[in-house]
Amino acid sequence: MASAKEISNRIKSIKDTMKITRAMYMISSIKLRKAKKKLEDTEPYFYGLQNEIAAILYRFPDVVSIYFDNREKDLREKVKRKGYVIITGDKGMCGAYNHNVLKTTESMIKDLKKYRLFVVGQVGRQYFINRGVALPSDFTYTATNPSIHRARTITETIMELYKKERLDEVYVVYTRMINSMRTEVEIEQVLPLKSRMFAKEEILKRKKRAQMSHGHLKKLGDVDIDVDEYSVPAYGADMIIYPDVDELLENIVYNYMTGFIYGALVEASACEENARMTAMNAATDNAKDILKQLSLDYNKVRQASITQEITEVIGGTKALKRSL
């Protein structure tokens, strides 16, 4: 067994570590609240853009755009050049947060021949660089303190490659928070957008309004929507677009992508801080258990030392009496 001094030094070291884990827990809790507030603030804008795209596609069903999956050229392509925007953290000590994102990405790209990775966060960049994966040298964005400017810059890079047809499909891989105890890695396709999905959302919204006006609204889960059941209004009815639909869609899709990437950055940041809080709380609890055991060991060693000293004193006294 270690000496009392060694155990005492270890107890002091663990107490110092506990101060760090508690401080990191408090800092992460503050950052988590800020991230959640940012996410709540951006949601109305994001959903508003979704509604605008859905309304345009509903009124102009024949429009064909590079940003949607309704071009014959795209349908004929057999091999797609895929791009992945991977959102990881800038540091560790957050449990399995980074590990889950990286392993999900590896499982996606292992059988692909043509793909490009755009990694946000230092952990992800170093991980793929160490494994010999080629990453763009000018794409070095941090995951800390997400901003709309960063999301806009990332969107400009991705959109430029997509318009030049260097990328056929673009996905965002990030972590989504289900609740405070559960998170999931999400893979969302942002380019090209699925036109049928937007049209279906618009039809669902219109059917809901119609049912409300007739006073017999069903629960949303009870409404079975089929796009083909509803007649599409006359081309461009009740909507005037200037200068044209294509230019308007390009601007809205650009803003939609910026909003989506910003939301993904913020939500991933919230998940990272939540994972770090959980990890630091677990580390603090483990440190308490270790301290409890070390205190018992220290008391045993100290008691044994005192007992030994008493035994030596008694033995010395007896020896002295015999010598007299």
- The CATH code of the domain that includes 96 is 3.40.1380.10
Please check whether residue 194 lies inside any domain of the structure: yes
Structure confidence at residue 173 (pLDDT): 94
149/268 same-domain check:
yes
Total domains, the chain: 2
The total number of residues written for the chain in this structure:
324
43/148 same-domain check:
yes
Q: What's the pTM?
A: 0.76
- Higher per-residue confidence, 2 vs 300: 300
Span 89-106, pLDDT tens digits: 998 888 888 999 999 999
8/133 same-domain check:
no
Domain range spanning residue 14? Answer: 4-20+280-323
220/302 same-domain check:
no
43/15 same-domain check:
no
Structure confidence at residue 51 (pLDDT): 78
Give yes or no for residue 107 having a pLDDT over 50: yes
Structure confidence at residue 217 (pLDDT): 36
Last residue of a domain, one of 261, 279, 297: 279
- The CATH code of the domain that includes 319 is 1.10.287.80
293/195 same-domain check:
no
The residue-averaged pLDDT of 6-19 equals 88
Cα–Cα distance, 41 to 36 (Å, whole number): 9
Q: What percent of the chain has pLDDT above 90?
A: 20
Please check whether residue 50 lies inside any domain of the structure: yes
- Phi and psi at residue 63, to the nearest 5°: -70, 135
Helix (H, G, I), strand (E, B) or coil at 55: helix
Cα–Cα distance, 101 to 104 (Å, whole number): 5
151/222 same-domain check:
yes
Structure confidence at residue 228 (pLDDT): 43
Please check whether residue 25 lies inside any domain of the structure: no
311/239 same-domain check:
no
* Token pair in block for residue 190: 């942002």
Establish whether the linkage from the previous residue to 136 is cis, with ω within 30° of 0. Answer: no
Count of beta carbons in the 10 Å neighbourhood of residue 191 = 22
Please check whether residue 123 lies inside any domain of the structure: yes
Structure confidence at residue 324 (pLDDT): 62
202/296 same-domain check:
no
Structure confidence at residue 200 (pLDDT): 58
Q: What angle do CA 42, 185, 197 make, to 5 degrees?
A: 60
DSSP 276-318: HHHHHHHHHHHHHHHHHHHHHHHHHHHHHHHHHHHHHHHHHHH
173/62 same-domain check:
yes
Mean per-residue pLDDT of the chain? 80
- Higher per-residue confidence, 204 vs 9: 9
- Higher per-residue confidence, 78 vs 268: 268
Span 209-240, pLDDT tens digits: 544 444 443 333 343 444 444 444 444 456 67
242/307 same-domain check:
no
Q: CA nearest 86: which of 55, 40, 126, 37?
A: 126
56/38 same-domain check:
yes
Span 172-216, pLDDT tens digits: 999 988 877 788 999 988 888 877 766 555 555 554 554 444 444
